[in-house]
C-alpha cells in the first residue's frame, strides 16, 4: 500500500523532529521531506510528489499564509494542514478562505495529528475542536431571517453535513438521495455563497451559526 507522503514545514527544527517522531510509527504515513520556511516548501513541491503539507504560519522568508496562497495556485491537488499555536478566529478564517484543508493547534495529540492527515488525504477537511470553538465564539452572524433568504432548508441540511466532514455518499445515504444530487447541491452552495472550496463552506457555516 502506498503511504501518505507528508512534507513538514516549520522554522523550528525541534518541532520537525518531534513531528517525525510522532509519525514514524504510522503504517500509512511517511515523512517524505522537511522545510524550514515556505520558500523551501515550494521548491520541494516542485521536485517531489507530496500528498499533504503540514505547515506552521510564523516562518521567515515566506510565511504560512503566503505559502498557502502559492500552493493553491501552483499545486492545487496538494492538501495543506496548518499546525500552529494561533487560535485567533480571524486568522483561522482567513486560512480557511484561502484553502487550508485542515487546522490543528500544536497542543494536539498524536492520534489527532495522524487522524487529521488521513482524513485530509481522503479529500475531507479537519479542524480541531479547539479551532471550531474559537470560531464559534466570534460575532458577525446573520440573523435567521437573512439565512432563510439565502439558503433553502435542504441546502442548510446538506451544508451542516458537509461541515461535519461527511462525504457525498455518506450525505446521500443519510438523506436518501444520490451522491450526484449531493454534488449538485454542493456546487450550488459554493456559487450561492461565493466560495471556492469546502473550507469556505465550513467557514460560512460556522460564522452564521449553522453548525
What the chain holds in terms of domains, given with CATH numbers, is 4-136 (3.40.50.2300), 144-207 (1.10.10.10)
Q: How confident is the model at residue 211 (pLDDT cuts 50, 70, 90)?
A: low
* pLDDT over 80 at 144, yes or no: no
pLDDT digits (tens, 9 = 90+) for 155-208: 888 988 888 778 889 899 989 899 889 999 998 888 888 887 777 788 777 777
Burial 27-63 (b: 16+ CB within 10 A, else e): eebebbbbbbbbbbbbebbeeeebbbbbbbbebeebb
Question: Got the DSSP string for 69-115?
Answer: HHHHHH-TTSEEEEEES---HHHHHHHHHHT-SEEEETT--HHHHHH
- Would you state the pLDDT for residue 1? 66
Say if residue 210's pLDDT is above 90.
no
Contacts of 80 (CB under 8 A, 6+ apart): 52, 53, 55, 68, 71, 99, 100, 101, 102
What is the pLDDT at residue 119?
92
The pLDDT of residue 148: 40
Whether the pLDDT of residue 25 is over 90: the answer is no
Report the distance separating Cα 28 and Cα 24, nearest Å.
10
pLDDT at 136: 60
Mean pLDDT, the chain, rounded, equals: 85
pLDDT at 205: 78
State if pTM tops 0.75.
Answer: no
Amino acid at each position: 500500500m502506498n503511504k501518505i507522503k507528508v512534507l513538514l514545514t516549520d522554522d523550528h527544527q525541534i518541532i520537525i523532529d518531534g513531528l517525525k517522531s510522532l509519525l514514524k510509527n504510522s503504517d500509512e504515513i511517511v515523512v517524505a521531506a522537511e522545510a524550514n520556511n515556505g520558500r523551501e516548501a515550494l521548491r520541494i513541491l516542485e521536485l517531489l510528489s507530496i500528498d499533504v503539507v503540514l505547515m506552521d504560519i510564523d516562518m521567515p522568508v515566506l510565511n504560512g499564509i503566503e505559502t498557502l496562497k502559492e500552493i493553491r495556485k501552483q499545486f492545487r491537488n496538494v492538501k495543506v494542514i496548518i499546525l500552529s499555536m494561533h487560535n485567533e478566529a480571524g486568522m483561522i478564517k482567513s486560512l480557511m478562505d484561502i484553502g487550508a484543508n485542515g487546522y490543528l493547534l500544536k497542543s494536539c495529540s498524536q492520534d489527532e495529528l495522524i487522524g487529521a492527515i488521513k482524513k485530509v488525504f481522503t479529500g475531507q477537511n479537519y479542524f480541531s475542536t479547539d479551532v471550531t470553538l474559537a470560531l464559534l465564539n466570534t460575532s458577525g452572524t446573520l440573523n435567521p431571517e437573512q439565512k432563510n433568504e439565502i439558503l433553502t432548508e435542504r441546502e442548510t441540511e446538506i451544508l451542516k453535513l458537509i461541515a461535519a466532514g461527511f462525504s457525498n455518499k455518506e450525505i446521500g445515504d443519510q438523506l436518501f438521495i444520490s451522491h450526484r444530487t449531493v454534488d449538485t447541491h454542493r456546487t450550488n452552495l459554493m456559487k450561492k455563497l461565493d466560495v471556492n472550496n469546502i473550507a469556505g463552506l465550513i467557514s460560512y457555516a460556522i460564522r452564521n451559526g449553522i453548525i
